[in-house]
A and B are shown apart, each in its own frame.
Chain A
Amino acid sequence: MDEIASREEKVRKFEEFVDRRLKPDLVKAVAQRDKVFQQQKVFQDLRRNIQYLEKNGVTSLRTMVNLGSEVFMQADVPDTRHIFVDIGMGFHVEFTWSEALEFISVRESRLAKQIEEYTHLIATVKAQIKLVCEGIRELLQIPAE
């Protein structure tokens, strides 16, 4: 009887551990990775646009600026050769197209590395969850699937 009671106690502890520590950890890691994904997407789009500008030799453009709540106003960019890119820490640097592209590729590789790290972290947490579940299964002596 004692054994059964202690076994149930252990199972309960394992389940609690999974639910309270591991699963929230997993959620947090996934959320952080998603944020990095978003940033990566932004820079990818920027790169593509600059490449398009370069390819078509666009020097001036007409665009619509969002003033807030989707109220737009026409804007005119007379010279597109100088573009200010956000390099982080609240700074924007004036680049030419090629410089901008270079910077963006450096930035993108850094982001990719961060994503790698987060992916590893997520895989670790998942493995831990699986391990604990296996332990529970053993305790309950349910045949492994």
Chain B
Amino acid sequence: MAEGAKMGTVTSLDSLFTSEEAEKAARRGEEAIEDRRKELCRLREFISDNSALIHQVQKLPDELSHDIMVPFGGAAFFPGRLIHTNEFLVLLGESYYAERTAKQTVEILQRRGKSLEGHVESLNKIMKDLEAEAKFFDSTAAEVAEGLVEIREEYVEETQSEEPKTGLSNTSFVSSSKAHNSLVPDEEDEDAKLMARLDELEKEEEEAVSDLDDDEDDETASSSDDHEVEDDENASYLKVDEDEDDEEEDDDDEDEDDENTNYLKVVEDEDEEEENDEDEDVNNNAENISETDAEGLVSKPTGPGTFFPTSMQHDAIGLLQHPADQSFVSSPKMQVAPEGPLKRIVEQPHATQHPSLPPETREILQKSPASNIQAFTGTVIEHSYGLLPPKPSSNDSTAVQQPSRPVSRFKMQKGNR
């Protein structure tokens, strides 16, 4: 290696996440999955009820009238007949009813079924994410239990002419970001570290895929005259031909030596490879992406591309705070990004890490169950309405319904959760 002797430290994962915490996090993930699964069950029941009802509604108009037992309250029946077999009164919600024929009712019910299936779909997706998270927590717990060890190496700046070619180890890549996190040793931060690790592993996957997506970038990017000027400035930073990278290196060297991490080396490695292969493409790439990103950064923080992992989007938010460097894009896929802005990017995510966590995950991570102290966490609600003298109620309607307002059975069941 060209750098010469490097300072390194070895930390065992135990010190960063205790096995207890990792297990707790895994358990929380599983609980969340259980909840979602129950919800899924209920929705499936609704869907099956709905389809049974559709079937019934289609069959009823076959006869003029049907002999049935008409319920009277919750505990009594009258023998009677179903009449007007083609007229259905459907509850649309909020005490609004619609009188429809059988065919129209079937249409209404089919639309309801579709929306229910949409819910099931989204629930499934959420569950998949949660399962992936839980698996990650599990594997982390296993690693901690095994006594996996983390190797942290400081990144030493190179001279102008050389661009360092270094092999990267996962742990050092991860450790760089951990260096930031260790500054604020909070419980919450430790959980955030887990998330940071997850995000970084995701980034690596993205990088692996990025080669394939490169060619597509040219087509997706848009260009406009207005941004030309900006672009020129941007492009000048982004063109691989020039040694802008190195100039940037020097400028920022004084400021943040420590922050330069192996993560940046990865990007530069890819820079070199891509340089050799597709110079022009990369240039166009850079310009186009810079345009879109400049637009994105100016208008919306979520602008930069759909292939960036979530944390990177929020890095863009952080970038908004540095308008001078607005043109720089936080993306390993860029492959030509110079060091300077990336340093900021590496800083930002950890400042914005918490807001970037999806609310559900945050909820899971920050919940602190008092499982060690088994305190009673429920509520005791006592109704005494039965013991008071019963109120007189109007007997006009012979169809007695329990709730004062007619509510769809689905809603009622939901409300009783």
Contacts and interface: CB of A to CB of B under 8 A. Distances in A.
A131 interface: no
A19 B372 CA distance: 13
B118 interface: no
A133 interface: no
A75 B83 contact: yes
B393 A48 contact: yes
B395 A24 contact: no
Interface in A1-48: 16, 18-20, 23-24, 26-27, 30, 34, 36-37, 40-46, 48
B53 to A, nearest CB: 5
A71 B105 contact: yes
B76 A69 contact: no
Contact of A49 (B91, B376, B400): B400
Contacts of B399: 63-64
Nearest to B97: A72
Contacts of A58: 398
Question: B72, B385, B400, B409: which has the most chain A beta carbons within 10 Å?
Answer: B72
Interface residues of A, number: 53
A100 interface: yes
Nearest to A12: B373
Name the residue among B70, B82, B378, B408 with the largest chain A CB count within 10 angstroms. B70
Given A63-B70, A69-B410, A48 B387 contact: no
Contact of A68 (B49, B85, B89, B383): B49
Nearest to A40: B386
Contacts of B381: 30
Contacts of B97: 72
Q: Per DSSP, are chain B's interface residues mostly helix, strand or loop, or mixed?
A: mixed
Nearest to A72: B89
B225 to A, nearest CB: 58
B68 interface: yes
Given A69-B410, A71-B53, A115 B387 contact: yes
B378 A80 contact: no
B75 A71 contact: no
A121 interface: no
Contacts of A34: 383
B8 interface: no
Contacts of B406: 70
A75 B60 CA distance: 13
Interface in B53-82: 53, 56-57, 60, 65, 68-82
A123 to B, nearest CB: 11
B76 A71 contact: no
A67 B83 contact: no
9 contacts: A16-B374, A23-B378, A30-B382, A42-B74, A70-B90, A75-B81, A86-B76, A92-B76, A122-B382
Interface of A: 16, 18-20, 23-24, 26-27, 30, 34, 36-37, 40-46, 48-49, 51-53, 58, 61, 63-65, 67-80, 82-86, 92, 100, 115, 119, 122
For the complex of A and B, the 4 pairs showing the least CB-CB separation, nearest first, are A70-B91, A52-B395, A77-B80, A19-B376
